[in-house]
């Protein structure tokens, strides 16, 4: 499933996109920006992915670029099993939230994907010990989509 980087978050079953949540890393082939991320970016991202799976699915997505399935990885002592969930990261200014497939870790590590600068900044700046929960936020935002609009 491909969504352009920084487009509004949407999901096939959702009635509308969620404008405060921005897509990152929803790739479907090799057509994406390549580049270097800061040292420690993958360590931080691995911690976030293992700390809280968001929108966990019942199936495993293979990597759309190399086709590998059930990707396991370990990074600085963090064990990862990728392709089943998303990772949500709040922007440092608190204005919006980035939503990426957990496979984004593999895209950066193995395929040289360069995520948008804002996402890299957000990952580098987020506290891995705060009790902020992407899953809790997702539930609230999705519930809002189904609330009837106020009548004029
Ligand atoms: Zn791959």
- Please write the tens of the pLDDT for every residue from 90-106: 999 989 999 999 999 99
- 91: number of Cβ within 10 Å: 17
Å from CA of 74 to ligand 1 middle: 15
Å from CA of 15 to ligand 1 middle: 31
Bridge partner residues of 78 (DSSP): 75
What is the spatial distance between Cα 103 and Cα 107, in angstroms, rounded to a whole number?
6
**Cα–chain center distance at 75:** 17
**Residue whose token pair is 């193995």:** 110
Whether 119 and 96 have beta carbons less than 8 Å apart is answered as: no
Longest dimension (CA), the chain: 55
Å from CA of 30 to ligand 1 middle: 10
Whether 98 and 119 have beta carbons less than 8 Å apart is answered as: yes
Q: What is the mean pLDDT of residues 137-150?
A: 89
Residue in 126, 116, 135, 148 with CA at minimum distance from that of residue 32: 116
pLDDT tens sequence across 4-36: 999 999 988 889 999 999 999 999 987 899 999
Token digits for 117? 């600068």
Question: How high is the pLDDT of residue 29?
Answer: 85
Å from CA of 110 to ligand 1 middle: 6
**DSSP, res 86:** E
């Amino acid at each position: 499933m491909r969504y352009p980087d920084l487009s509004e978050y949407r999901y096939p079953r959702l009635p509308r996109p969620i404008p405060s949540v921005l897509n990152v890393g929803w790739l479907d082939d090799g057509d994406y920006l390549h580049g270097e991320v800061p040292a420690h970016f993958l360590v931080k991202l691995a911690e976030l992915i293992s700390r809280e799976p968001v929108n966990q699915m019942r199936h495993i997505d293979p990597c759309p670029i190399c086709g590998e399935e059930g990707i396991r990885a370990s990074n600085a002592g963090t064990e990862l099993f990728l392709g089943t969930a998303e990772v949500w990261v709040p922007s440092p200014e608190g204005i919006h939230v980035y939503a990426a497939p957990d496979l984004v870790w593999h895209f950066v590590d193995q395929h040289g994907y360069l995520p948008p600068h804002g996402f890299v900044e957000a990952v580098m700046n987020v506290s891995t010990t705060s009790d902020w929960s992407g899953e809790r936020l997702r539930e609230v935002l999705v519930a809002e989509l189904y609330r009837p609009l106020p009548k004029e």
